[in-house]
Chain A
Amino acid sequence: MQRKVLFAPGHTACAGCGQAIAARLVIETAGSNTIVANNTGCLEVFSSRYPESSWGVPWIHSLFENAAAVASGIELALKYLGKKENINIIAQAGDGGTADIGFQALSGMFERGHDCLAICYDNEAYMNTGVQRSGLTPFGSETTTTPAGRFSFGNPTYKKPIPEIALAHGIVYVATASIGFPQDLQRKVKKALSLKGPKYIQIHVPCPLGWRHEPSLTYRIAKLAVETGLYPLFEYENGTLTSVRKITPKPVEEYLKLQGRFKHIIGNLEEIKKIQLIADNNIKRYNLLAES
């Protein structure tokens, strides 16, 4: 049986790109009856280098901020034509396009209740333009706009709680996923597309270039982020928490020491304690501890 390819090889992502893994898993789970609107970002740039395209589904890029607005328009047009049944609409963006620049369009899509799935590929900085800090950059991470030095320990602020903000809109489905657990990611995409109304999935995708780790460690780092409690995987349906991935917590150093962006923190117990506290709070909040 020939598998139908919807995201072709030959794109120009870096070796070991986490976003390329996630994008392929998402589109192959959604299937060929899908229309994708894409914000500007790494994904848009590496998958649509003129005059080539990696996409095997209708795919549109307009501006940095408006994938959610374009997706809303596509949904309304399909409804008007009476063709909405069985067509999935995905609005996808990186973390900058979701949390900062594209946030008003995304919030509008949630509030108007369009039947679209919004996906955020969270690589924790503006990787396409050269690793600038975004609203989803974690505490202590070094970026070109939050450099670590004698008086600074990298990014002084915490991750913007976009899943919680999406939940506050009262939408039908909110989940976080990670490429460290690909089957779980596919299940969540399938679940989201089976529901009517606005949906939001945030996928943790390591970036070898921006996080400064070996390309071969993409999978291990994504998995460690979940296993340390720094990136909890949860699922909300209609506002109630329905499932979390239980973990046996590992110390956060195991996650931090593999990445160049946290190099300045290794050996600094005070800063590591602050990051461990974030993980501990997540574990308490979502009750992540596995029963032994």
Chain B
Amino acid sequence: MFGPIFIKPLTSRNNKTGSWRITQRPKFLQKNCIACKMCFLICPEGCIEGEEKNTYHCDYDYCKGCGNCAEVCPKQDIVMVKES
């Protein structure tokens, strides 16, 4: 009981934190994106992915709706919309 405990890597994926969102969710318009990667770098969940311009999107299973991606986007290409 007091020995070391081992856990498998990356198992927190079982924990769908998307249910934490209360009022708002990000919407990726994918119109003026310049692929600066700032939303990808600043997401606390690491649930934003994308490679080229206008391909960035987020995984709503994990997004907690903090809104930093919309705040950081230099082109206002991410907007926060009401959670539906």
Contact = CB atoms under 8 A, between A and B. Distances in A.
Shortest 9 CB-CB distances between A and B: which pairs? A216-B67, A16-B66, A10-B12, A9-B62, A15-B66, A10-B15, A15-B64, A20-B44, A215-B66
Contacts of A215: 66-68
A16 B44 contact: yes
Interface string B1-40: 0000101111111111100100000000000000000100
Contacts of B49: 3
B81 interface: no
A93 B59 CA distance: 29
A271 B64 CA distance: 36
A21 B10 contact: no
Interface string A4-16: 0101111111111
Contacts, number: 108
A53 B9 contact: yes
Most buried by B among A8, A10, A11, A49: A10
Given A9-B17, A50-B7, A183-B41, A219 B12 contact: no
Interface of A is mostly: loop
Contacts of B67: 16, 214-216
Nearest to B4: A60
Interface of A: 1, 3, 5, 7-18, 20-21, 24-25, 47-57, 179, 182-183, 208, 214-220
B44 to A, nearest CB: 4
A219 B42 contact: yes
Chain B contact-residue range equals 35 or more
A277 B19 CA distance: 44
A9 B12 contact: yes
A20 B42 CA distance: 9
Nearest to A9: B62
Nearest to A185: B41
Nearest to B58: A9
Contact of B45 (A9, A53, A214): A9
B24 to A, nearest CB: 9
13 contacts: A8-B11, A9-B47, A9-B61, A14-B64, A20-B44, A21-B42, A21-B43, A52-B11, A52-B14, A53-B9, A54-B10, A182-B41, A218-B44
B71 A53 contact: no
A147 to B, nearest CB: 27
Contacts of B65: 15
